[in-house]
Amino acid sequence: MTHWVPELLAPAGSLEKLKVAVLYGANAVYLGGQKFGLRSAAENFTIEELEEGVQFAHERNAQVYVVLNSFFHDKDFDSLLEFITELERLKVDALIVSDPGVISFISANSNLEIHLSTQASCLNVESAKMWKKLGVTRIVLGREVTVKEAAKIKKESGLEVEMFVHGSMCMAYSGNCVISNYTQGRDSNRGGCAHSCRFEYKIEGINPETGNEFSKNNFFMSSKDLEGIRVLPEFIEGEIDSLKVEGRMKSHLYAGTISKVYSEALSYYKEKGDFLSDELKFWEEELNKVTHRAYTEASLVEPAGSDSIYGDREHEINEYAAIGEILEVNEGKYLLVEVRSAFEIGDELEILPFKGRAMKFTMDFIKNVMDEDLPRTKPGSLVKVPFVEGAQKWNLLRRRLQQ
């Protein structure tokens, strides 16, 4: 007997990251095309890449959702029909949209399924009912909603619900921040967010308790990162349809690790029907191995309190470095590695397999492709390192940093 678990929806900032996320266990990925998304600086997908990505995902029973979640201005509609016609031809599984005008346009011009983006900040049952009238089939709820509230919204609206389970978080209600628009001339709701909420601010005013003048430097608008691994039982109990991981701009190692950890946790539940396992500690340790701010459960269980503010100086916790990925496995001889972060002879690296524990191995040799021995590597090169049994093409490599 197997037990029901939610879909795991991972970010795909590029075609390579899509492959990484799917290979490491995501049931679905979301990605942006060249226009209409909120990540203007991301690589994003050309139509050709999208076609390959959809084919790759569908061959492995994974879904592909395309984000069109920017707030449109009139001129943006000029090329929308052409784009959604292409998306329909490519058989993407759904579009993630926030703008009511865009929802209406897509409904009128295609048979594509529409998910309401978190940018629309849908937070309650009545709101979900309103959006249902527009024809959306799934709501990506605002990050302020608890899992219990989400379960109620699902039950009473009859819509699928999706919630964020992991990643960076906006401090503002999504779609309700225009700091970049006015301070940088970049529309944050059309992909130009300058992350002003991560800045340090000098706060000045009158202390309400003492009546004295007050001045203090603080990162008061910066949120800790979301980590929902311990909330998985609540997600399952609430029958939340999809668990979303934030991070289209993040690294391959992030996409792989988060997909792997959450998919393994969900697989464990699927088989056993509980999370009563020492694995939970292991999964948490693994989540700590990707670059992140301090973690919080934010509002998943109860509304986020002051402990959800990332009040320290802005830096990210970085225990492991993303070393690169395996491009070729030459049986018994070597692994061909694309290097993203330098390492040297004698270093201990870890291979992150698609399933199971990381495999450690030591750099007994490093050669370039002309078989010349190298004392160390440099990023942007291809090198041969010792063969490891069980290593597979596209496996990611990482290295523990000296603390």
Partner 1 sequence: MKLTTYLESLEQIDLLVEAKVDEAIICPLTLSRFGKVLNNQITKMAQALKEKGIKPILEWDILMTENIFSQTIKSFEYIDLNEFESIRLQDPGAIHYILENYPHLNIQLILESGGHHNIESLKTWKRLVGDRLERVVLSLELSRDHLANYINELGVEVEFLGLGRILLFYTPRNLISPIFGHDESDSKVISDVRNSEGIEVSASSEESPHKGFPVIENMHGTFMFNTKDHCVLEYLDDLQKIGLSSLRIDLRFGHDLKMLGTIRKLMNSFDEEVVNRLKENYPVTLIRGFFHKNKSDVLFKKLKNYRIQRSDDSFLGDVIEVNKKNHLGIILRSRKNSLKLGMRIRLLTPDGKDKELFISSIKTSDHQEISEATHGQVVFVPHVSGVSVKTVAYLMEG
225-284 residues in contact with partner 1 (CB under 8 A) are none
152 part of the interface to partner 1, by CB under 8 A: yes
Binding string to partner 1 for residues 167 to 206, with x set by CB under 8 A, is what?
----xxx-xxxxx-xxx-xxx-xxxx---xx-xxxxxxxx
218 part of the interface to partner 1, by CB under 8 A: yes
- Of the pair 36, 269, the CB lying nearest partner 1 is at 36
295 part of the interface to partner 1, by CB under 8 A: no
From the list 8, 13, 18, 98, which residue makes contact with partner 1 (rule: CB under 8 A)?
98
Amino acid at 387: F
391 part of the interface to partner 1, by CB under 8 A: no
121 part of the interface to partner 1, by CB under 8 A: yes
Report in angstroms how near the CB of residue 208 gets to partner 1 at its nearest: 5
Binding string to partner 1 for residues 13 to 32, with x set by CB under 8 A, is what?
--x-----------------
Report in angstroms how near the CB of residue 232 gets to partner 1 at its nearest: 21
Report in angstroms how near the CB of residue 108 gets to partner 1 at its nearest: 10
CB-neighbour burial class of residue 26 (10 A; exposed 0-12, middle 13-18, buried 19+): buried
Chain centroid to Cα 263, Å, comes to 13
Q: Residue 141 and residue 181: Cα distance in Å, rounded? A: 24
- Of the pair 98, 242, the CB lying nearest partner 1 is at 98
- Stretch of 82-90, 158-166, 283-291, 366-374 contacting partner 1, by CB under 8 A: 366-374
- Stretch of 230-238, 255-263, 272-280, 327-335 contacting partner 1, by CB under 8 A: 327-335
Assigned token pair, 273: 């029907």
Q: Residue 91 and residue 361: Cα distance in Å, rounded? A: 42
**Cβ–Cβ under 8 Å, residues 277 and 295:** no
Binding string to partner 1 for residues 46 to 85, with x set by CB under 8 A, is what?
x-xx--x--x---------------xxxx-xx--------
From the list 88, 101, 294, 386, which residue makes contact with partner 1 (rule: CB under 8 A)?
101
149 part of the interface to partner 1, by CB under 8 A: yes
Q: How many residues does the chain have?
A: 403
**Cβ–Cβ under 8 Å, residues 250 and 318:** no
317 part of the interface to partner 1, by CB under 8 A: no
Phi, psi of 226 (to 5 degrees): -80, 135
| Residue whose token pair is 């089939």 | 137
109 part of the interface to partner 1, by CB under 8 A: no
**Cβ–Cβ under 8 Å, residues 75 and 94:** no
Measured between alpha carbons, how far apart are the two ends of the chain, in Å?
Answer: 45
Amino acid at 301: V
Q: Residue 279 and residue 138: Cα distance in Å, rounded? A: 31
Q: What is the per-residue DSSP string for 93-121? A: SEEEE--HHHHHHHHHH----EEE-GGG-
332 part of the interface to partner 1, by CB under 8 A: no
Pairing, β 367-368 against β 295-296: unpaired
- Of the pair 103, 351, the CB lying nearest partner 1 is at 103
- Stretch of 97-105, 283-291, 341-349, 355-363 contacting partner 1, by CB under 8 A: 97-105
